[in-house]
Structures are given as C-alpha cells and as structure tokens.
Structure 1
Amino acid sequence: MKQPQTSTVLFWAANVVSALLFGAAHLPQFALMASGLPFGLIGVVLLQNGVVGLTFGWLYWQWGLLAAVLAHIMADIVIHVLIPTFFS
C-alpha cells in the first residue's frame, strides 16, 4: 500500500533533522583530529556526515534498522580499516 504524501514529507523533514544531528555527533572526533574546530571544518563535517545520515535514514525507511546499521558498519570498516590499510 502506498504511503500518503504527508508521511513522506514528514519522513524527509525528520530525516534532515536526524542527519544534521548525526553530523553534529561526529564533530568532537574531528575537533580532536584537527586540534580545534575551525568554522570551515564544521560545515564540511555537517555536509559530509549529513549526506551519509540522509542515506542511512532512507535505508531505515525502506528496509529497516538492520539495513541502516549494517550500512554504517560497512562504511566504518571502509573508512577506518580498508583505506588506512591500503593507502597509508
């Protein structure tokens, strides 16, 4: 059954808010790595993590929590294990 338009609008509004919070939750990690938090870095972190957060939110909406969690785990493996192993 197709969802009504209102629920779609509400989903995307909530997804944008949660994506910004997802990005903000990563600010302390970047502040430690950069020895501070310049204004430009805040924008980059919110934008990059916000896009990823929107994707995870969409995965949650379409396929449930497990899909979003597995995508997050896979992203972390690529970023924190594979890239440092093969490109450093």
Structure 2
Amino acid sequence: MKTYTLEGTKFSSVEALHIALKEELSLSEHYGGNLDALWDELSVRSEATEIVVMDWLKAKLLLGSYADKLERVFTEIGQYNKGIIVKFK
C-alpha cells in the first residue's frame, strides 16, 4: 500500500490545495484542479492507497466550506474505490 501524507496547513486557498494534491498524490498532468477531477483521478487508481491529511482542523479553517466538500469527496471515494483509504488527523 502506498501512503501519502498531506499537510493541511499548506491548504491556504483552494488553488493551493489543488496544487498540493496534484504534487503530493502524483496525479496526472491533465488533472483539472477541482473536486470532480480529483474524483476522476482517484476512482480509477488501482494501487492500494492511503491518504493521511494532517492538521485537518487547520485545513478546515483555511478552506472554509470547501473543506466540507473535499471531505465528502474523500469519504465517498473510499466507498467507491475500496483500495483508497483516507484518514483525517
């Protein structure tokens, strides 16, 4: 299983979030930088993957309501693709 650790304090904006996701999760060059594109990338990932989001409470403060949408995508992708596990710390 490949483990990716994301630092929530780096999510200073929605744009910064998607830049970090692309880099840290090794998303494709064509990654669209939005939650639909994140879903598309993770839904077809065949490698067992654990994503650990550190400082989630800080990320929620930085991202506001967008953090709720991100959390929903991460939660639902784990139900859709059983090879993806997401933990918020």
Output the TM-score relative to the length of structure 1.
0.33
Larger helix percent: 1
Structure with larger RCO (C-alpha < 8 A, sep 6+): 2
Which structure would you say has the larger Rg?
1
